[in-house]
Amino acid sequence: MELQLEGKTALVVASSQGLGKAIAQRLVLEGANVMITSRNEEKLKEVAQELSELHKGRVAYIRADVTKKEEIQRLVAQTAETYGALELLVNNAGGPPTGTFETITDEDWYQAFELNLLSYIRLIREALPYLKKNGGKIVNIASSSIKEPIPGLLLSNTFRTGIVGLTKTLASEFAQYNILINTVAPGRIATERVAFLDQMNAEKFGITKEEMEMRMKSAIPLGRYGTPEEFANVVTFLLSAANSYMTGQSFLVDGGMVKAI
């Protein structure tokens, strides 16, 4: 299967660690020109150096806070200026705080909205003029909560499902420009975020983190957590030329964990 990603330009958001980093690495290995970004400049420098040593596609970085409109505008413009184009966009953001309805404040709601939904909207808006030139691909990273709400993650449950509505609607609006847009939702992938949630739940139930991991893995038909690389493979396929007819869809990468149809 020919992915035809060599020489393509991709902006991967929240890519100094975890899923974003794995996606950026997969794209670089396929020969794409990748812009990585996060709020942590030191991590960005390290990742950029690491990916450059793969000696495949080009990689550069821009520090940006995607809750800030002006920084998003600068990020997209500088990406296109650096590589002369922007054809692939991966929207991604760290998970919002845990909490219940009675503990979450208005400030928490606003911050989660800006980070986990409005940033996607703004990034797509800024990237659209570039994507319209020759067609392009957008992948929005969400969570398995788009199919099954996760206890204690009310903010994520709310705004991640908003991403699905956004994706589905824009698939119709953007089809005339040959822009394909899809949502990819991770289940239990072995990242720092999942490790944090396991620790939090372990403390809640008075057990060790290792015991909590075993409980979670027992609910996954494949019996293990996924790797960031496995998740990145799915995203990379959707961004590639091999995907020419799937748009507006939501894909779970969860080892069969979510039972919803």
Using a 10 angstrom Cβ sphere, with 0-12 exposed, 13-18 middle and 19 or more buried, the burial of residue 189 is buried
Digit-coded pLDDT (tens) for 137-151? 999 999 999 999 999
In this predicted structure, what is the pLDDT of residue 261?
A: 84
What's residue 135's pLDDT?
A: 95
Instruction: Please tell me the pTM assigned to this model.
Output: 0.95
Give dist(CA 124, CA 118) in Å, integer: 10
pLDDT digits (tens, 9 = 90+) for 218-251: 999 999 999 999 999 999 999 999 999 999 999 9
What are the residue ranges in the chain where pLDDT is below 50?
Answer: none
The domain segmentation of the chain, as residue ranges, is: 9-187+227-253
User: Helix 209-218 vs helix 192-205: angle between axes, to the nearest 10 degrees?
Assistant: 110
* pLDDT of the residue at 193: 87
Indicate the CATH number of 9-187+227-253 among 3.40.50.1370, 3.40.1380.20, 3.40.50.720, 3.30.1360.150.
Answer: 3.40.50.720
In which region does residue 255 sit, left (phi positive, over 0), alpha (psi from -120 to 50) or beta (all else)? Answer: left
